[in-house]
Protein backbone atom coordinates (compact mmCIF):
# COMPACT_ATOMS: atom_id res chain seq x y z
CA UNK A 1 0.00 0.00 0.00
CA UNK A 2 1.38 3.41 -0.85
CA UNK A 3 2.11 5.78 1.98
CA UNK A 4 -0.05 8.82 2.41
CA UNK A 5 0.94 11.33 -0.22
CA UNK A 6 3.65 13.58 1.10
CA UNK A 7 2.23 16.57 2.90
CA UNK A 8 4.51 19.39 1.90
CA UNK A 9 2.15 22.01 3.21
CA UNK A 10 3.09 24.86 5.44
CA UNK A 11 1.38 22.97 8.27
CA UNK A 12 4.32 20.59 8.25
CA UNK A 13 6.73 23.50 8.15
CA UNK A 14 5.38 24.98 11.36
CA UNK A 15 4.99 21.63 13.11
CA UNK A 16 8.59 21.77 14.31
CA UNK A 17 9.29 24.08 17.27
CA UNK A 18 12.74 25.03 15.97
CA UNK A 19 11.25 26.19 12.69
CA UNK A 20 8.58 28.18 14.49
CA UNK A 21 11.29 29.83 16.57
CA UNK A 22 13.22 30.71 13.41
CA UNK A 23 10.13 32.31 11.94
CA UNK A 24 9.47 34.17 15.16
CA UNK A 25 13.01 35.52 15.04
CA UNK A 26 12.64 36.60 11.43
CA UNK A 27 9.63 38.68 12.30
CA UNK A 28 12.08 41.10 13.88
CA UNK A 29 13.94 41.39 10.59
CA UNK A 30 16.17 39.47 8.15
CA UNK A 31 19.18 37.60 9.53
CA UNK A 32 22.11 35.53 8.26
CA UNK A 33 22.34 31.85 9.07
CA UNK A 34 24.94 32.08 11.81
CA UNK A 35 22.85 34.53 13.74
CA UNK A 36 19.81 32.30 13.42
CA UNK A 37 21.78 29.22 14.40
CA UNK A 38 23.35 30.88 17.44
CA UNK A 39 19.98 30.87 19.17
CA UNK A 40 19.81 27.07 19.24
CA UNK A 41 21.73 24.25 20.85
CA UNK A 42 21.66 22.31 17.58
CA UNK A 43 24.44 22.25 15.02
CA UNK A 44 24.49 24.74 12.19
CA UNK A 45 23.83 22.09 9.51
CA UNK A 46 20.68 21.18 11.42
CA UNK A 47 19.53 24.77 11.13
CA UNK A 48 20.46 24.75 7.45
CA UNK A 49 18.12 21.81 6.97
CA UNK A 50 15.30 23.61 8.71
CA UNK A 51 15.94 26.67 6.57
CA UNK A 52 15.85 24.55 3.46
CA UNK A 53 12.40 23.26 4.36
CA UNK A 54 11.19 26.78 5.04
CA UNK A 55 12.73 27.92 1.76
CA UNK A 56 11.16 25.15 -0.28
CA UNK A 57 7.77 26.08 1.12
CA UNK A 58 8.40 29.76 0.38
CA UNK A 59 7.95 30.75 3.99
CA UNK A 60 11.35 32.42 3.88
CA UNK A 61 13.53 33.80 1.09
CA UNK A 62 17.29 33.95 0.90
CA UNK A 63 19.57 36.51 -0.67
CA UNK A 64 23.32 36.17 -0.83
CA UNK A 65 25.26 39.05 0.57
CA UNK A 66 28.99 38.48 0.37
CA UNK A 67 29.63 35.13 1.97
CA UNK A 68 26.52 35.34 4.10
CA UNK A 69 23.03 34.20 3.21
CA UNK A 70 20.46 36.53 4.62
CA UNK A 71 17.07 35.03 5.28
CA UNK A 72 13.88 37.00 5.27
CA UNK A 73 10.37 36.14 6.33
CA UNK A 74 7.91 35.60 3.49
CA UNK A 75 4.67 35.17 5.36
CA UNK A 76 2.30 34.86 2.43
CA UNK A 77 2.17 31.08 2.69
CA UNK A 78 1.33 31.33 6.37
CA UNK A 79 -1.99 32.76 5.32
CA UNK A 80 -3.11 29.20 4.63
CA UNK A 81 -2.78 28.51 8.33
CA UNK A 82 -4.64 31.65 9.30
CA UNK A 83 -7.40 30.82 6.84
CA UNK A 84 -7.69 27.28 8.13
CA UNK A 85 -7.90 28.28 11.75
CA UNK A 86 -10.40 31.06 11.13
CA UNK A 87 -13.67 29.09 11.28
CA UNK A 88 -12.59 27.53 14.57
CA UNK A 89 -12.47 30.94 16.14
CA UNK A 90 -16.28 30.97 16.13
CA UNK A 91 -16.23 27.88 18.31
CA UNK A 92 -14.18 29.17 21.18
CA UNK A 93 -15.90 32.52 21.04
CA UNK A 94 -19.16 30.65 21.27
CA UNK A 95 -17.82 28.69 24.23
CA UNK A 96 -16.84 31.92 25.90
CA UNK A 97 -20.34 33.22 25.21
CA UNK A 98 -21.87 30.14 26.78
CA UNK A 99 -19.73 30.57 29.84
CA UNK A 100 -20.66 34.21 30.08
CA UNK A 101 -24.41 33.59 29.96
CA UNK A 102 -24.00 30.70 32.34
CA UNK A 103 -22.32 32.96 34.85
CA UNK A 104 -24.88 35.71 34.34
CA UNK A 105 -27.98 33.54 34.57
CA UNK A 106 -26.93 31.55 37.59
Binding site for DNA (CB under 7 A): 1, 3-4, 6-7, 12, 15-16, 18, 32-34, 37, 41-46, 48-53, 62, 64, 66-70
Q: Is 78 a binder of a second copy (CB under 8 A)? A: yes
Residue 102 Cβ vs DNA, minimum distance, rounded to whole Å = 29
CA angle 20, 29, 51 (to 5 degrees): 40
For residues 53 and 81, which CB has a smaller minimum distance to DNA in the complex? 53
CA atoms within 13 A on the CB side of 79: 5
Total residue count of the chain as it appears in this document: 106
Strand order in the sheet with 31-32: 31-32, 68-73, 60-65
Q: Burial of 13 by CB count in 10 Å (0-12 exposed, 13-18 middle, 19+ buried)?
A: buried
Q: List the x/- string, 11-30, binding to a second copy by CB under 8 A.
A: xx-xxxxx-x--x---x---
Residues at the site binding a second copy, with contacts judged by CB under 8 A: 4, 7, 9, 11-12, 14-18, 20, 23, 27, 42, 73, 75-76, 78-79, 81-82, 84-85, 87-89, 91-92, 95
Amino acid sequence: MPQAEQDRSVFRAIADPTRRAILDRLRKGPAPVNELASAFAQSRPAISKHLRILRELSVVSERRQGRERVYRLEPAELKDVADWILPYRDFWQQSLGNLKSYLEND
